[in-house]
Amino acid sequence: QVQLVESGGGLVQPGGSLRLSCAASGNIFSNNYMGWYRQAPGKERELVASIAISGSSRGTLNYADSVKGRFTISRDSAKNTVYLQMNSLKPEDTAVYYCNYGTRSYGGTLSPPVGRWGQGTQVTVSS
């Protein structure tokens, strides 16, 4: 079973930055994307960023419109870790952030993530 451990969250003022990390253990080779998700209180969990990790589209990045230009997803293959650099944070970015993985079509469609949801890491943006 693949284990996912998120870290890096915290309290930050609007306009500040945080970098989240997701360390994965186990074999995720059969999956071809990793993504960052978030869930705010009373809201549905949403995908905010993804990176293709296998196949011909390896390295392709995608972002939710709400975070484009502010967030950057990246991956260190050697460390089996995916990162989310979050800049220009806004109060509406406040949420619990999770990472997960799954399959991605050539057209970019992401199947629902297959990993077990972990505890996530809390990001709070407030003055």
Residue 107: pLDDT above 70? yes
- Reported confidence tier of residue 57, pLDDT bands at 50, 70, 90: confident
Residue 43: pLDDT above 80? yes
Say what the pLDDT of residue 28 is. Answer: 73
Task: Find, among 117, 112, 103, 62, the residue nearest to 84 by Cα.
Answer: 62
Phi then psi dihedrals of residue 114, to 5 deg: -105, -15
Query: HSE on the CB side for 20, CA within 13 Å?
Result: 31
Average pLDDT of the residues in 6-27: 95
Average pLDDT, the chain: 93
Sheet with 33-39, strands from edge to edge, namely 10-12, 121-125, 95-102, 33-39, 46-52, 61-63
Residue 8: pLDDT above 80? yes
Task: Find, among 16, 24, 3, the residue nearest to 123 by Cα.
Answer: 16
Say what the pLDDT of residue 58 is. Answer: 87
Average pLDDT of the residues in 84-113: 93
Residue 55: pLDDT above 90? no
Residue written as tokens 């109060």?
91
The residues pairing with 24 across neighbouring beta strands, listed in sequence order, are: 4
Say what the pLDDT of residue 1 is. Answer: 73
Query: HSE on the CB side for 47, CA within 13 Å?
Result: 17
Is the pLDDT higher at 55 or at 9? 9
